[in-house]
Structure 1
């Protein structure tokens, strides 16, 4: 049962999500190969070889793959697809961009945001914004799947995989123009063990500084609800929810967030959820392990002072 996992990286370091997708692959079968496609990505390949249970690391080192252009990467994956029964990637922006193209080119149905492996052809995935779970069986010869990484624990780094270089370069008419990145010393939102998120009740971008202090005290990442992002308080790469990032930290602190189903879909798998809201009827209290009915502008500074 050969399985191909598409590695996610920035050409310098391997993202933790990849180790979690490999964990999902292990539940399907034991022959797991990892595809590292990028430019000057030898460091990434070396890290990939250390992931436990990986058989081979397939390296495609070329400028055509430097920026994860889906048309180029998708064609590369299809070129080796017949050697595999499963093709997996994280349900990130990259996975959501590449795998639908792969599935279309292979003429198979894609399984999206898998959270549980039942058997080699049967999987569980959320529907209706996570309010229900569907058990889906695929009869396709090649199963193309994105994985919700918050549902899996990362594999260890005690592996010793072989490395294999891939020949052939796939290009397209798509041209990379530019990329704007938000730089922060805080942990990545998707990998942080502590997340502090704010909602529309924060009132302004300046008020998010209060939450930044709390996040820094806890060594955590900063997040936000869609309402806060739409209001322009924070950039959209901090959005947690169905249309943002899916997170499952050890501790999730929701400040001034009402708890719309769109937001709950992105954080309800957190180990411990703490909600601070002055509305006692806020839906967020229904999923919170601990709730504090209070004015956030009074409660959060006091909490920061105690830490």
Structure 2
């Protein structure tokens, strides 16, 4: 039996349940038993888990990474899991290293794949700025990993988990005080978009020039790491290992070379169109359709055609 604990993020419930697939892959040929840890969950009607450990206390500050780390440590000491998996969201990236230090475990961050063979359990992640993929053999326990949303996709989640109430005693109170909050006015999360128009370093025009095309195609704008680093686009729309993992029906890549770092941000894309002056750009070999030419000119002509 291989026991895995998944931290359920109340803001990303569906993405958290996708980690069940990662847990099952990590178990290999062993029986996979998946526990979820939910802290003040607004909705406990989750499916796919074997057990749901429920921590309910209105006084808890669930967005304090130190408080959540304390809870993870107590739950782990009680159940002795073989692995712990967290989402690599902004909050998950604060919790994961704290929990790893507390449990004296190694942490493999931002994994993109899992393999189990005669060499053992291997977690795969990009290395050297995304130029290579590294297989990291995990031979100590617990195995800890963080995963971008949408890297894994759990299927047919029908199992009803057994509820396990977990009572906390003498938990150190949070010292974080919320002074003010405001609503994020950003557009649709690119992870939810069915159509993405994505610009790379090879797209010479301004990002704003893509908005008309995006509107015509009922899509959203995205960008590569290079464009974000050039401060031509916000990080919220960055696709890639250091950005967001996306699974649109259509991905229109404009002037994107196709480094491993970027490709790892594309999962289960149904149709990929690549527009690039470099016919040998790596992304072209993954595309359903390749247009060899200037991306800005392509956008101008396609927008004009759609307007007709």
Structure 2 length-normalised TM: 0.79
Counterpart for residue 96 of structure 1: 93
Matching of residue 70 in structure 1 with residue 65 in structure 2: yes
Matching of residue 16 in structure 1 with residue 14 in structure 2: yes
Does the CA contact (< 8 Å) of 1:195 and 1:223 recur in 2?
yes
Does the CA contact (< 8 Å) of 1:190 and 1:247 recur in 2?
yes
Query: RMSD across aligned C-alpha pairs, in angstroms?
Result: 3.2
| Greater CA drift, 114-123 or 152-161 | 114-123
Partner of 1:244: helix, strand, or coil? coil
Correspondence list, 1:261-276, <5 A: 261-267=260-266, 270-276=269-275
C-alpha spacing 1:171/1:294, structure 2 compared with 1 (3 Å): farther
Q: Deviations over 1:82-108 (max 9, x none)?
A: 212211112332322211110101111
Shift of 1:283: 4.8
C-alpha spacing 1:140/1:114, structure 2 compared with 1 (3 Å): farther
Measure, in 2, the Cα distance between the counterparts of 1:279 and 1:135. Answer: 30
Compare the two structures and name the one with the higher helix fraction: 1
Partner of 1:158: helix, strand, or coil? coil
C-alpha spacing 1:197/1:69, structure 2 compared with 1 (3 Å): farther
Counterpart for residue 136 of structure 1: 136
C-alpha spacing 1:15/1:291, structure 2 compared with 1 (3 Å): farther
Q: Based on CA coordinates, which of the two structures has the bigger radius of gyration? A: 2
Measure, in 2, the Cα distance between the counterparts of 1:125 and 1:173. Answer: 36
Matching of residue 291 in structure 1 with residue 290 in structure 2: yes
- 5+ long unaligned stretches in structure 2: none
Which 4+ runs in 1 deviate beyond 6 A?
none
Counterpart for residue 54 of structure 1: 50
Measure, in 2, the Cα distance between the counterparts of 1:221 and 1:154. Answer: 25
- 5+ long unaligned stretches in structure 1: none
Measure, in 2, the Cα distance between the counterparts of 1:53 and 1:211. Answer: 42
Measure, in 2, the Cα distance between the counterparts of 1:54 and 1:211. Answer: 45
Structure 1 length-normalised TM: 0.79
Measure, in 1, the Cα distance between the counterparts of 2:136 and 2:32. Answer: 22
Counterpart for residue 25 of structure 1: 23
Measure, in 2, the Cα distance between the counterparts of 1:191 and 1:119. Answer: 34
